Structure 1
C-alpha cells in the first residue's frame, strides 16, 4: 500500500489503517519507521508525486527479478537501482496501465525487498528492514547502490550474452511463468506451440523428433543425426537420439535459434538449436517450492502430478545447492480391445545443482539431471477420429536419460567459459509383430524389440571479449557421440537380430565470431567453424555385416549484416550453414550402400520492431539442402536412410504482440513454408515432392488478461494453434496425409501470497484431428494409422512458494 499510494494517502493510512498493516504483514511501528526513513531521504514535490502516480503502459513477462526491473526501467524511463545484486526470484507477468510504484509493488511483493523513491522517477530497491535492523543499525549508515543495467531479454544460446534487440538472428525466447514452471506435464510441446516454424513428429513422448523451419528429413526416427541440437544449459543432450522431452520444471526459459547454426554448434544444427536454461542455485537465499496437481480426461482416466524445488545456501553468498524432483502420471485414452486407456504414460525426473562463487568473478556450477519417461502402449488407431482399436499386443516405449555437467566461468575484461557434459540415453520400443514380419527368419513372430543406447560427451572452452567497437568470441570444442542399437524379432520358438548398429562419431572444432560497427547503426558479424570429423560405423542387416570409416575437414561459415534504427528496432540479413556426416545404410536385401553427408545453407532476412505497446517481427528465408538424408521403412520394419536428393525450402514467419489497456494482451503468429524436393534421387516416381512432416502453414493466437483483484493476482489465457496439412513420407506407398488440426487451450491462475492455483483445459473443443499418421513400422503397409489429438483434458495445480 505504501508504494501504491505514496505520498498523499500514505501519511494517513500508514498510521491509521489496520488493513495496510495486515497486507504488508508488518506492525504499525514498521510503517512508522519506513515513513520516517522515506521522509528524511527524499523531499516530496508535485513533480515527484506526478511521476510516481503517472499511469503508463507496462508489459513485463514472467522472468527473473533483475530482468523484470530492467524491462520496467526501459519501458518507463525510470532510474532504478539496488543495494547489492538483486536475487533472481521468479516474478509474475505484469501487463496493463499502472504507475511505476504499482509495478514495483507487484514485482517485489513477498520477496523481502521494497522500493524507496529517491528522486524524480528514481527508485532504490533494498531489503525491507526488520525490527532487529532498526535496533542495531547505526544512524547514518549508507550502502552502495548498484544500478540495474541488465538487458530486458538476454539470449545465451549464441554462446555469449546478447540483447535480443541486438541479435541478428531469428530467435524465439519462451519464458516460463511461475505457475507453468512447476508443472511436469510441460515439455517440448509447450514450447513448440508457442514458436512459429516449429513442428513435432507425433509418435509420442520420448519418441518425437523436433523440426524447425521445414528442415525435416523423416518422421520415422532412423539413424541419421537430428536436425535440431538440444542443449541443456552449457552442454549438448542429444546427437542422434529422438527428443527426450525434458520437462520444464524449474526452468527459467527456452531459447530457440532458427536456421542453421553450424558456425557455433557444428554438425546436427541444420534446423536450429533448442536451448533449455535452468534456474541456477541462488547463493543468498533459501527457497522452497512445491506443487500438487490432478485432473480428468474425457474418454480417459485421471492424470496426477507433483513437483518440489529446494534452494539451500551452503555458505551464504558463496555456495548453494538447488534440488528438483517431479513426477507426472498422464491418463490414457486409447482403448485396445476390451482394455481401456492403455496408452498411459509416466515421467519421473530429478535434478541437483551446486553453485560456487569464490569471488573475483569466478563461478563453478556442477549439475546432474535424470529423467525416466515410460509409455505403457502406443497411441495410434486404424480409423480416423477414433479412440479405440482392435486387440493387439502392448507396445510399451521407454526413454531414460541421465546427464551430468561441470562448468567454470570467469567474468571480467575477457570472459572465460569451460564446460563439459556427459549424457547416457536409453531409448527402447516394442512393436506388435504378429502382422508384417513374416519371412524374416522367425516362426510365428510376436514382438519387434527396438533398443538403442546413445552417449554424448561434449566439452568446450571459449573466450569472449570486446574492444570497442569490436566484440569477439573464440572457442575450442570436442564432441564424442556413440550409438549402439539392435532390432530383435521375437517369436514363440526363438528370436533373431535383424538389424544392428554400432556407430562412433568424433568432432573437434575451432570456432569464432567477430562483430563490429561498420558505420553508425550498421553492424557486421562474421562466424566460422573449422572442424575435423571422423566416423566409424558397423552395420548388420539381415545377417549381412558392413563397416565404414571416414574422416573429413569441414568449414561452416556465417555472415550477418544488421541495421539498428534504435533501441527497439533491428533489421538484418544473415547467411548460415551446417552439415551432417555420411555413413552407410542398407537396401531392401540387407546389402550395405554408401550414404553421403548432407549440407544446408540458408539466406534469411529479418526485422524486429517495438512500437509502444506493439512488438512485431518478420522473417523471410530460403534454404538449399543437398544430398538430403531421409529415412525409409523397409520390409520387416527396418528403417534405412537414403540420399533423397536436393531440396529447396522457402518460408516466411510473422509474429506480433499487442498490449492493451486493463491488462489485456493479444499475441499472434503465422508461418508459411514451401519445402520441396527439387531433384529426386530416391529412385521412386514422385507425384508429390513436398518434404515430410512439415505443414504448409501454421498459425497461433493467444489472448490473455492479467489483473489484480484485492489480494489476488489473476491471469487468464486462451490459445489457438492450427497446423496445416502435411505428409508422412516420400514413399508413394506411405504418402499419407496428416495435420490440418486445430487445438484450443484455456487457463486461469490465481496467486495470493505464497499460494497459487492454476486451472488448465486442453483441447477445449474436443477435436480429433489426425496429428500423425504413423505408429508401427510393421503394420504401416497393411493399413493406415492415425494418431488422434488427445481428448479434452482438465488439470488443476496448487503450488506453494516460501
Structure 2
C-alpha cells in the first residue's frame, strides 16, 4: 500500500506528531516531497513516536523505521519502501524466548493517508474533492530524458495539444478548444509552475519535466480558484524543492535512434546544497537535441526538423521563523527549431516540398518570490513574479513561383501576484480567501521577406490589467455529505494598439474605443456524498471566462468581447489510483459557451480573432485500474467529446460551416482511449525492475474554424514502452515510442498562407532511447 502523496517537496522542518506508522509515513511524505509505500497493511497501525526537527526525508524515515522496528529501502530517487524488519537470531541460532508484549491499541487508518489535491489551493483530500483530477508522479518522467508536454499528453485521455512545434503549441482539456493558433486570445488552459502562472496569452512554453515532483491536471472550468483563462482546466507543474541539511544530486543522460531520422541525445543534472541550517539551494540544468525526420524535396535536404533545447532553473528556500518560509526561484529555457515538422500528404515518406527554411525560436524566462506557511490550522501563501516569452516563427508563403517567407514575432510580458489565506478541512469546515492581480502585454508583429526586401504587415498589441477577489467555503452537512460554495469577482482594464497599419485599417481602428473595462462574477457550487467507504459521488457547477481584446490582420480590425463558459458536472470516484486494488472514476459534463473567441484565416491567410457565436459541449470520461497482483497493474481510460457551435454570430455562419452542416468545436477528437500496463518487481538489495507499456488512440477532429481550416486530422494510434532497472543510486532505462512506427496526422497544419488538404503533422517515427541515471 502506498501512503505518501506529497503536495510540495520538503522545504521545512519535519513536524510529525506521535501516532501510527501510517499517519507518520503520510506526514513525512507530504512534508518532504517523497513517495513511500507500505505493502503490508498490518504495519500501518504500529505506534510511532513524534519526529520533529530540520532534516531530510531519508533521515526522518530512518527515525521512523528504527522506532517502529521496520526496515527502510530506497527504490528510486524519491521513492521508499517500509518493510518488516527481519527477526534477529541469537548467536546460538535459537530464537529468543517470546515475551508477552501488550498489543498496541488498534487505531483506524485515518483519511489523512488519502491523496492531497494541491491544485485545490486549500489542501483538499481527493475523497473530499468534487471534480475530475489527475496526478502524474514525477518519477514517471525520469526514464524519458528531457521530456516536455507531450509526455503529459501520452498519459491522459482528457488532455491534448496542437502539434505545431515545441514551444509554440496550444493546450486543451475536456473538449474546450477554440482554434489552432496561439494569438492574442488567452489560452483556454491555465498553466502554472508551482504557484506561478507561466503565461496569459501565447503558446505553451513547453517547460521540460526534469526533477519534477508531480504534474496535476484539474479539469475545468476553474474560474473561482484560477480566474480567467481556465475554461478547460489547469496544468500544475510541481518541481522538487530544496531539502534542508542534505547534499544530494543527480545526473542523467540518454541517446536515441529514430527510424527514418537523425539520432538524438539529452543531458541533465540536479544539485541540492545546504547553505545554512535553514537555507538550501536546488539547481537544475538540461540540454537536448531531438534529431529531425522530415525531408525537404525542394532543396534535397534530409531530416530538416531537428530541435535543440537548453534550460535550467534554481530555487533558494529559507525558513525565516519556525513554520514560515520564503522561496526565490528563476527559470530560463531556449528552444531552437531548425525547421517545421509538417509534411505533404501526397508525397511518399515523411517529406514536403518547401522553397524556404521555416525555423522557429521560443525563449521563456520566469522569476518568482514566494512567502508561505504550509502547516498549522491556518496557512498562507503569497506568490509574486514576472514572466517573459518570445516566440519567432517563419512560414513558407511562396505563391505562383514567388519565393517568400512570412515571419511572425510574438512578445508576452506579465507581472502578477496572488495572495491567499486558507484553513484546511477540520471540525467540519474549511475556507479560502484571496486576491490576485496581473498586468499583461502581448504583441504580435508580422512581415513578408522576399529576396532582400521586407514588407511590414499589420500588427497588434493587447494590454490587460486584472484585479480579483476570490473565496471558497467547504462544510460538512453530515459526516458523509459536504457542500462547497465559492465566487470570484474580476475587474479587467483592456487596451490595444496597432502598428504598420494600412490607411483603411488605421481608419477602422480610429473608429473603435480600444480602452474598455469588463467585470465578471464567477460563482461555483458543489455537493459531495460519500455513501460507502472509498466511494465519492459529486455534482458541481462552475464558470470561467476570458477577457476581450483587439485583433488586426491586414485591413481587418476587430474588437472581440469576453467569452464565458458555464459547466454542470456529475461524477464519481472510487479508490485511489495506484494504491487500492481497484479504482474507477468518471464524469459527465454539459457546458454552455457564450461568445466563443476563435481564430480563423482572413483572405490573405493570416489569423484573425472574432466572437464566432455560442456553443455547447458534452463530455463523458472514465478512467480506472486494477491491481492484478502486488507487482502488476492494468489501467484504461476513455473520453468522448461532442462540441458544436449552436449559434453563429451574424455573417459568420456561411464562412464557418459546410453547406447544410453544423460547425464542430475544432481540435478535439470525438473519442480518445488509452490502455496501459504497469509492472514493478523488487530484486532485493535495493534493486527494482519496472516496466510500463501504453497505447493511446486519438480519433478524428477538425483543424479549425472556417473552410480553410476544415481539414480532418487525428485517427491514429500512439504507443510506447518504458523499462527501468534501478538500485539506490543508479538506473538504466530503455524507452521506445511509437512502437508500431505509425505515421498518423496529429495536426493538419504547417504554414498559414499555404493551408490546404495536403498538410499533415506525423507522429515522430519509432524511437529507441537508452538512458542512464546516477544519484547521490
Is the CA contact (8 Å cut-off) linking 1:380 and 1:787 kept in structure 2? yes
Hey, what's the Cα distance between the residues in 1 that align with 2:454 and 2:59?
54
Deviation at 1:65, TM superposition (A): 6.7
Is the CA contact (8 Å cut-off) linking 1:66 and 1:148 kept in structure 2? no
Change (3 A) 1:595 1:674: same
Change (3 A) 1:240 1:391: closer
Match in the other structure for 2:595: 627
* CA displacement, residues 531-550 of structure 1 (integer Å, 9 cap, x when unaligned): 11111111355452326111
Matched, 1:472 2:431: yes
Deviation at 1:75, TM superposition (A): 8.6
Is the CA contact (8 Å cut-off) linking 2:38 and 2:83 kept in structure 1? no
Structure 1: gaps spanning 5 or more residues:
1-50, 53-57, 92-100, 121-146, 439-443
Is the CA contact (8 Å cut-off) linking 2:257 and 2:263 kept in structure 1? yes
Q: How does 1:755-770 map to 2 (within 5 A)?
A: 755-770=730-745
Deviation at 1:406, TM superposition (A): 0.5
Matched, 1:801 2:749: no
Secondary structure of 1:764 counterpart: coil
Deviation at 1:87, TM superposition (A): 3.4
Change (3 A) 1:745 1:284: same
Deviation at 1:797, TM superposition (A): 0.7
Deviation at 1:74, TM superposition (A): 7.1
Hey, what's the Cα distance between the residues in 1 that align with 2:114 and 2:411?
41
Deviation at 1:733, TM superposition (A): 3.3
Matched, 1:313 2:278: no
Q: How does 1:172-183 map to 2 (within 5 A)?
A: 172-177=134-139, 180-181=141-142, 183=144
Matched, 1:696 2:670: yes
Is the CA contact (8 Å cut-off) linking 2:143 and 2:735 kept in structure 1? no
Matched, 1:395 2:365: no
* CA displacement, residues 662-714 of structure 1 (integer Å, 9 cap, x when unaligned): 51110110001111111122232432421110000100000121112344310
Aligned partner of 1:716 among 669, 673, 691: 691
Change (3 A) 1:382 1:265: same
Is the CA contact (8 Å cut-off) linking 2:72 and 2:80 kept in structure 1? no
Match in the other structure for 1:404: 367
The normalised TM-score by structure 2 is 0.85
**Between 303-312 and 181-190, the greater mean CA deviation after superposition:** 181-190
Match in the other structure for 2:294: 334
**Between 358-367 and 411-420, the greater mean CA deviation after superposition:** 411-420
Change (3 A) 1:256 1:580: same
Deviation at 1:262, TM superposition (A): 0.8
Is the CA contact (8 Å cut-off) linking 1:232 and 1:277 kept in structure 2? yes
Deviation at 1:501, TM superposition (A): 1.2
Change (3 A) 1:673 1:249: same
The normalised TM-score by structure 1 is 0.82
**Between 590-599 and 254-263, the greater mean CA deviation after superposition:** 590-599
C-alpha RMSD of matched pairs (Å):
3.1
Hey, what's the Cα distance between the residues in 2 that align with 1:485 and 1:102?
63
Matched, 1:535 2:494: yes
* CA displacement, residues 709-745 of structure 1 (integer Å, 9 cap, x when unaligned): 3443100111001001111123123311110010110
Aligned partner of 1:457 among 415, 418, 430: 415
Q: How does 1:516-555 map to 2 (within 5 A)?
A: 516-540=475-499, 541-542=501-502, 544-545=505-506, 546=509, 548-555=514-521
Is the CA contact (8 Å cut-off) linking 2:35 and 2:78 kept in structure 1? no
Secondary structure of 2:653 counterpart: coil
Change (3 A) 1:391 1:188: closer
Change (3 A) 1:109 1:651: closer
Is the CA contact (8 Å cut-off) linking 2:40 and 2:83 kept in structure 1? no
Secondary structure of 2:593 counterpart: strand
Deviation at 1:360, TM superposition (A): 2.1
Is the CA contact (8 Å cut-off) linking 1:356 and 1:365 kept in structure 2? yes
Match in the other structure for 2:455: 496
Q: How many pairs are equivalent?
A: 702
Aligned partner of 1:683 among 643, 653, 670: 653
Match in the other structure for 1:4: none
Change (3 A) 1:335 1:115: closer
Matched, 1:382 2:344: yes
Is the CA contact (8 Å cut-off) linking 1:291 and 1:797 kept in structure 2? yes
Hey, what's the Cα distance between the residues in 2 that align with 1:106 and 1:75?
18
Secondary structure of 1:434 counterpart: coil
Deviation at 1:285, TM superposition (A): 1.0
Secondary structure of 1:189 counterpart: helix
Is the CA contact (8 Å cut-off) linking 2:433 and 2:470 kept in structure 1? yes
Deviation at 1:434, TM superposition (A): 1.9
* CA displacement, residues 602-634 of structure 1 (integer Å, 9 cap, x when unaligned): 000111112950011011101000111110112
Hey, what's the Cα distance between the residues in 1 that align with 2:78 and 2:646?
58
Aligned partner of 1:284 among 239, 245, 266: 245
Match in the other structure for 1:606: 571
Matched, 1:106 2:73: yes
Hey, what's the Cα distance between the residues in 2 that align with 1:204 and 1:74?
47
Aligned partner of 1:87 among 52, 56, 59: 56
Match in the other structure for 1:78: 45
Secondary structure of 2:343 counterpart: coil
Deviation at 1:435, TM superposition (A): 2.3
* CA displacement, residues 442-484 of structure 1 (integer Å, 9 cap, x when unaligned): xx56211100110121201111126632211100110111112
Q: How does 1:409-488 map to 2 (within 5 A)?
A: 409-410=372-373, 411-435=375-399, 446-465=404-423, 468-488=427-447
Secondary structure of 1:263 counterpart: helix
Deviation at 1:752, TM superposition (A): 2.4
Secondary structure of 1:778 counterpart: helix
Deviation at 1:386, TM superposition (A): 3.0
Aligned partner of 2:638 among 653, 666, 670: 670
Hey, what's the Cα distance between the residues in 1 that align with 2:69 and 2:217?
33
Is the CA contact (8 Å cut-off) linking 1:477 and 1:509 kept in structure 2? yes
Change (3 A) 1:694 1:149: closer
Deviation at 1:222, TM superposition (A): 2.4
Match in the other structure for 1:730: 705
Hey, what's the Cα distance between the residues in 2 that align with 1:102 and 1:243?
49
Matched, 1:560 2:534: no
* CA displacement, residues 84-118 of structure 1 (integer Å, 9 cap, x when unaligned): 36734699xxxxxxxxx999543479999997979
Matched, 1:596 2:561: yes
Match in the other structure for 1:144: none
Is the CA contact (8 Å cut-off) linking 2:631 and 2:681 kept in structure 1? yes
Deviation at 1:553, TM superposition (A): 1.7
Matched, 1:201 2:170: no
Q: How does 1:35-434 map to 2 (within 5 A)?
A: 68-69=35-36, 77-79=44-46, 81=48, 83-84=51-52, 87-88=56-57, 105-107=72-74, 151-177=113-139, 180-181=141-142, 183-316=144-277, 318-337=278-297, 338-383=300-345, 386-410=349-373, 411-434=375-398
**Between 189-198 and 501-510, the greater mean CA deviation after superposition:** 189-198
Hey, what's the Cα distance between the residues in 2 that align with 1:603 and 1:104?
48
Q: How does 1:732-747 map to 2 (within 5 A)?
A: 732-747=707-722
Is the CA contact (8 Å cut-off) linking 1:584 and 1:595 kept in structure 2? yes
Change (3 A) 1:463 1:567: farther
Match in the other structure for 2:11: none
